[in-house]
A and B are shown apart, each in its own frame.
Chain A
Amino acid sequence: MTIWWLLLILGTILAFGTAFIWIAVHLHAAAKPVKSLAESLQGAAEEDVDHIFNEEFREELRNRGRLHFEKILGENAMFLQQDLRLTTSQMNEFMKGEITKELKAAFANYENAISSAKELAVESIEKTKTTIDQERQALVTALAKEVGEEKDRRIKQFDERMGQVINHYVLEAIGSQIDLNDQLEYILNEMETHKAAILEDIRSGT
């Protein structure tokens, strides 16, 4: 019984508390001041704005903005492309000019080097030619001298061996036709001529 009473009391207390809070809230709301006209207009305008700039309008604006952005982007890309082409062209021209200049300089250097080498080669060839001419002259002189000496030597040798040469010729020409019996008289005459010398040598003995 007591518990029931306690619960009843607590329920009553809660009912009273809730009623008190509800009254207090309502009283507080009723105690607020009234808004001004400007604020009311502003509020109405904001509500209209929300009505005007609704989602479709915003989407439309977005699309327009997107198109505009794309247009600007395309123009800029075109400008960038033109600039790039111009830059590339200028770059090409510059590179061409630089390369041409470098090549001209290099070719000039090469030409100078080739000219120097050519001069050196010509000078060397001239020197070689001079040397060869001198050598040739010396060689011709030496050769003429040697040929002269050889000629003299051959003539001297020929003179010295004239008898042998003619003997060889006679031997080759008619050697097989010379009969020893035909020479008997000549041999005996020669031996008769040198008889005294032969006798002398035999008498003197060894």
Chain B
Amino acid sequence: MAPKSAHQLKLPTLVFGIVEIRRLRRELEALEDFVSQANIREPGKQPQLPRTSRLLDALATENNMQLLQGEHRTYMMHFLQAIEDEAPNIHISFAVDPSSAFTLKIVTWLRDNIHPFALLEVGLQPTIAAGCIVRTTNKVFDFSLRERFTGSQDLLIKALEAAMAEAPPAPVTAPEPAGAAA
């Protein structure tokens, strides 16, 4: 089967971001080196591949690629290089470290709705309490609870004023000097 062009390959959802892309590239390079060395040692014999990672297996499986074939490895390498160079990188900060399942859902949504090769970079920002902050190339989208409270500030002030109107605070007076009391 002829390999697809670089942009016809599919990026598995397990591969979240640029870190995984680079890890895959390093693994593919190592695999390439291994196969080359095996061919030099025993030419014409099918080498026994070393144990590959889950990400590389997913990449090869979802794209119907054979890791034993050098052409496929080259395509995958080009694909990964193209992804690293061109794919949009979206940074999302959460209040706590997200689980893999949660990240998977986010990545799926991004690949379905934003860009098929969108890469996710997860950040940690405990002060946002809830929600997230999305940073694209030029913009920041604050979906945090903090921003929501700031947006609802007028509502909060009105609620506070209503509460204070029901129970007015005691007037604050300047204290008398000690000599005046005597």
Residues of A within 8 A of B (CB): 136, 140, 143-144, 159, 162-164, 166-168, 170-171, 175, 178, 180-181, 183-184, 186-188, 190-192, 194-195, 197-199, 201-202, 204-206
Complex Cα–Cα for A194 and B133 (A): 12
Closest to A202 in B: B88
Which residues from 100 to 153 on chain B have a C-beta closer than 8 Å to any C-beta of chain A? 101-102, 105-106, 109, 113-115, 118, 126-132, 134, 136-139, 141, 143-153
> Are B137 and A180 in touch, CB under 8 angstroms?
no
Binds A, one of B39-47, B49-57, B91-99: B91-99
By Cβ-Cβ distance, the 7 closest A-B pairs, closest first, are: A163-B150, A163-B149, A190-B143, A167-B146, A171-B129, A201-B136, A202-B88
Report B-chain residues with C-beta under 8 Å of the C-beta of A204: 137-138
Q: How far is the CA of A143 from the CA of B174 in the complex (A)?
A: 9
Determine whether B156 belongs to the interface, using a CB cutoff of 8 Å to chain A: yes
Of listed A166, A205, A206, residue having the most chain B CB within 10 A: A166
CA A167 to CA B94, docked complex, whole Å: 14
Task: Indicate if the CB atoms of B114 and A201 lie closer than 8 Å.
Answer: no
Given contacts A159-B157, A167-B149, A186-B143, 17 further A-B contacts (CB under 8 A): A140-B174, A162-B150, A163-B148, A164-B146, A167-B127, A167-B145, A170-B149, A171-B129, A175-B126, A178-B95, A180-B99, A181-B102, A186-B130, A187-B106, A191-B143, A195-B113, A201-B137
Chain B residue contacts of A206, Cβ below 8 A: 137-138
Chain B contact patch, size range = 35 or more
Task: Judge whether B139 and A201 touch: CB under 8 Å.
Answer: yes
Which residue in A178, A195, A205 is a CB contact (below 8 Å) of B129? Answer: A178
Q: Tell me what chain B mostly uses at the interface: helix, strand, loop, or mixed.
A: mixed
**Distance between B13 CB and nearest chain A CB, rounded to angstroms:** 15
Question: Is residue B171 contacting chain A, with contact meaning CB distance below 8 A?
Answer: no
Docked complex Cα distance between A175 and B131 (Å): 12
Residue among B96, B115, B136 with the most chain A CB within 10 A?
B136
CA distance A183 to B130 in the complex (A): 7
A197 CB contact (under 8 Å) in B105, B139, B145, B148: B139
In the bound complex, residues from chain A placing their C-beta under 8 Å from that of B101 are 181
Contact B105 A184 (CB under 8 A): yes
CA distance A76 to B106 in the complex (A): 143
